[in-house]
Amino acid sequence: MACPEVARLAPTLSTGFGSGTVGGSTPVESLHVLGCAGSSYAGRAGPPCSSYLVEMGGRALLLDCGYGSLDALSALVNSRACALDAVILTHSHADHAGDLFALLERGDLWRGAPLVVAQRETIDHVGYRVGSGASTYVEARDGGCVTVGDVALRFSSTDHQVATVAVAVSAGATRLVYSSDTGPRWRPPPAHVGASLAIVECTLFRRRDRDSPYHLDGSEAAALLRYLSPARALVTHVPPGESVSARVEIVGRWSKSAETEAAVAGLRIDLVP
């Protein structure tokens, strides 16, 4: 299914792609975990929060930019001489959007004018003035689709206490799904099923009565992955100081046919269709 935004967005986006290539010709398709700390983030001195750099279809796209992620992005972009095409904000919480304004001011990290893709509610919450300055804003909508060059972004509203979208990122036969933050009532659409890689939150270990209904525990993350049926899975959004390996062990029981591992800052995964 083609994205209706293609015709409007294509003329505004540049076509080059830094040096994120193999042998100077074949695009590298990969995911870089810049930050993955969960929602109990206690200050800027903590580990980097949610942020994932996706290189796909000749584009560099940032999924969220939580506190602490900008330094990691700067180091990666400079070392690989690539440039950012867009940032996709899944929601307005600081552990997902805290570095937005600093990111927009870093013109050296961008290929052209900064492009922000987010829901209108998210933009309103973070206080970003749509249409102001040198950046461009494109609205993400539940069930909608936006393209950046040859990369399609398909959105689905999740089960969270503020407006939040999961996103499926695809180019050609390669597809990645990012759940962002969600409770167990989210029902992913078909476009999110069967991806090469799924990044799924697991904020809680085992649910207790006092726990937030807007995040997943190990068994709930496992159920979501059973439905999503990816070839590979990353467990993310674990609060600092809590066991990532224990969550991976629980979630990994959902299927022995898929590789399940922890999202850790600095991890790179090559995306295979």
Token reading at 242:
């809590």
Task: Give the pLDDT score at 273.
Answer: 78
Looking at residue 261, its pLDDT comes to 92
Write out residues in the chain with pLDDT < 50, as ranges. Answer: 5-26
Of the candidates 252, 4, 39, 272, which has an alpha carbon nearest to the alpha carbon of residue 138? 4
pLDDT at res. 7 = 32
CA dist., res. 91 & res. 125, Å (int)? 9
pLDDT of residue 252: 81
Say which residues have a Cβ less than 8 Å from residue 250's Cβ, sequence separation at least 6: 205, 218, 219, 221, 222
Burial 5-17 (b: 16+ CB within 10 A, else e): beeebeeebeeeb
Tens digits of residue pLDDT in 165-177: 999 999 999 999 9
Instruction: Determine the pLDDT at residue 267.
Output: 96
What pLDDT score does 257 carry? 54
Instruction: Assign domain 29-270 to a CATH class.
Output: alpha beta
The answer to whether the CB of 111 falls within 8 A of the CB of 18 is yes
202-250 tens-digit pLDDT: 999 999 999 999 999 999 999 999 999 999 999 999 998 888 899 998 8
Q: Which amino acid is at 269?
A: I
